[in-house]
Amino acid sequence: MKNEIYLTSFSLLEPDENFYFYAPHWLNAWEAHLYNQALKSTSASGWAFKRFGTDKEIYAREMIRKPRYIDYIESMEQAADVALQQMTPRDRMLLLKSRAAFIYIDAWGESSVFENITSALHTSTIDTLPKNILKKFSIKNVTCKIRGENFSLIQAMRLAQDYLHWKVFDFVVICGAYRAIPVLVFSDEDISGIKGSVRAKQKNGVQLSVERTGCFIFSLRESALRVSCGSYIAHDNVDYIQREMAKDLSEGDLLTFSGRKENITRITPRTCIDVIDLKDIYGSSGCLTPALSWEYLLNKTVPSKKMRTILADKFGGYSYFDTLFSSGG
């Protein structure tokens, strides 16, 4: 694969809490309006959330709207710890002593205004960079934040690809977090021109939004997972898009996707390739949903040798990345 990089280590964490159904209320009229619009856009019958910091002693409607944010911040640090500990001692020492860049991704940008925050430090952690994580990785070089909505992860991976192949850095650490703030989740789904055209993504007609945090460490040191990012395709010709999405795929390969199902089925190659909807299995986690394809690949009884993960936006555009699995890595 062209410009491939290795996923040296990664971790994804989610809350231990249960799912809680969202119920609209007249005290939050705009949020309730967006909820109804989002249901029309997705043809869903309801919405359930799994969030960090929910407290069962609090009234359920407020519990999923204003959970404790500190649990969310702590989960970011735990994800970084897990990714570090999964590395071999030698690779871990190399990472801490080598040239490393840090990229922080999220879906919403400056979202601390939606939290009950009284600490300036915690505000900067959510809105800019989690500085405690920088210390864990001994980052002294480049740091940046990418707010690319659902495409944040693949944009960060492309940047990591360039950094590593230009020999600017030896490791690139990408940390990400998805906060399922109801009003933002609903507004993201409320896109004009597509309402009512989608079947419910879940078998019970309920959309699932799951908060997750993740840490991904990339390098050019050989490991089990090799990753290569494809280009963004914005084209009205369905035949052209189908050719691009099926390029270099063969029978037995795996195709996973994140995005509106009707946007994927129109361009899915009609071959013997297994097609997996990540949201159907794991729920939606915004910019971190594509990373769930690695979880799926590694948890298969017999992992596929090649997997393509497609991200579809809501306007007919597509992006993708390929992952090659080697059990001897």
Are 52 and 68 contacting, i.e. CB atoms less than 8 angstroms apart? yes
For β-strands 46-50 and 274-277, DSSP reports them as: unpaired
Packing angle, helices 29-42 and 182-189, rounded to 10: 40
Rounded CA separation 218/259 (Å): 25
Packing angle, helices 69-85 and 120-127, rounded to 10: 60
Does 246 share its domain with 270?
yes
pLDDT category, 329, cuts 50, 70, 90? very low
Give pLDDT, residue 296.
92
More confident residue, 291 or 117: 291
Does 277 share its domain with 210?
no
Does 311 share its domain with 241?
yes
Q: Which residue has the tokens 């896109």?
A: 191
How high does pLDDT run on average in the chain? 86
- Cβ neighbours of residue 244 under 8 Å, at least 6 residues apart? 230, 233, 318
The answer, yes or no, to whether residue 241 has pLDDT greater than 70, is yes
Question: Which of 166-204 are b and which e, b meaning 16 or more Cβ less than 10 Å from the residue's Cβ?
Answer: eeebbbbbbbbbbbbbbbbbbbbbbeeebbeebebbbee
Mean pLDDT comparison of 21-35, 258-272, 301-315, highest-scoring range = 21-35
pLDDT > 90: percent of the chain: 51
Of the ranges 3-12, 125-134, 191-200, 257-266, which one carries the lowest mean pLDDT score? 191-200
Give pLDDT, residue 156.
96
The answer, yes or no, to whether residue 204 has pLDDT greater than 60, is no
Give pLDDT, residue 40.
87
Reported in sequence order, the residue ranges of the chain that DSSP labels E, i.e. its strands, are 5-13, 20-21, 46-50, 100-106, 143-147, 171-178, 206-210, 212-219, 225-229, 233-234, 254-258, 274-277, 306-312, 317-325
pLDDT category, 231, cuts 50, 70, 90? confident
Using one digit for the tens of pLDDT, what is the confidence trace for 49-87? 999 999 877 777 778 888 999 999 999 999 999 999 999
Rounded CA separation 198/144 (Å): 36
Does 57 share its domain with 26?
yes
Q: In the listed set 219, 244, 269, which residue is the last one of a domain according to the structure?
A: 219
Q: Which residue has the tokens 């919405």?
A: 47
The answer, yes or no, to whether residue 266 has pLDDT greater than 80, is no
The answer, yes or no, to whether residue 9 has pLDDT greater than 50, is yes
The answer, yes or no, to whether residue 270 has pLDDT greater than 70, is no
Q: In the listed set 169, 204, 219, which residue is the last one of a domain according to the structure?
A: 219
Does 176 share its domain with 281?
no
Are 165 and 3 contacting, i.e. CB atoms less than 8 angstroms apart? yes
| Domain that includes residue 120, residue range | 5-219
Does 214 share its domain with 243?
no
- Among residues 316, 321, 314, which one has the least CA distance to residue 150? 314
Does 119 share its domain with 73?
yes
- The structural domain count of the chain equals 2
Give pLDDT, residue 287.
92
148 conformational bin, left if phi > 0, alpha if psi -120 to 50, beta if neither: alpha
Q: In the listed set 175, 196, 219, which residue is the last one of a domain according to the structure?
A: 219
Does 211 share its domain with 238?
no
* Token reading at 285: 């986690």
Question: Which of 261-298 are b and which e, b meaning 16 or more Cβ less than 10 Å from the residue's Cβ?
Answer: bebbeebbbeeebeebbbbeebbbbbbbbbbbbbebbe
Q: What is the CATH number of the domain that holds 251?
A: 3.40.47.10
Does 16 share its domain with 161?
yes
pLDDT category, 200, cuts 50, 70, 90? very low
Give pLDDT, residue 304.
66
Read off the pLDDT of each residue in 235-243 and give the average, rounded to a whole number: 73
Does 16 share its domain with 69?
yes
Read off the pLDDT of each residue in 195-204 and give the average, rounded to a whole number: 44
Does 77 share its domain with 164?
yes
The answer, yes or no, to whether residue 137 has pLDDT greater than 90, is yes
Does 198 share its domain with 236?
no
Read off the pLDDT of each residue in 34-43 and give the average, rounded to a whole number: 89
The answer, yes or no, to whether residue 222 has pLDDT greater than 70, is yes
Give pLDDT, residue 2.
67
Read off the pLDDT of each residue in 97-104 and give the average, rounded to a whole number: 94
pLDDT category, 142, cuts 50, 70, 90? confident
23 half-sphere exposure, CB direction, 13 A CA radius: 6
Rounded CA separation 320/228 (Å): 9
Read off the pLDDT of each residue in 238-262 and give the average, rounded to a whole number: 77
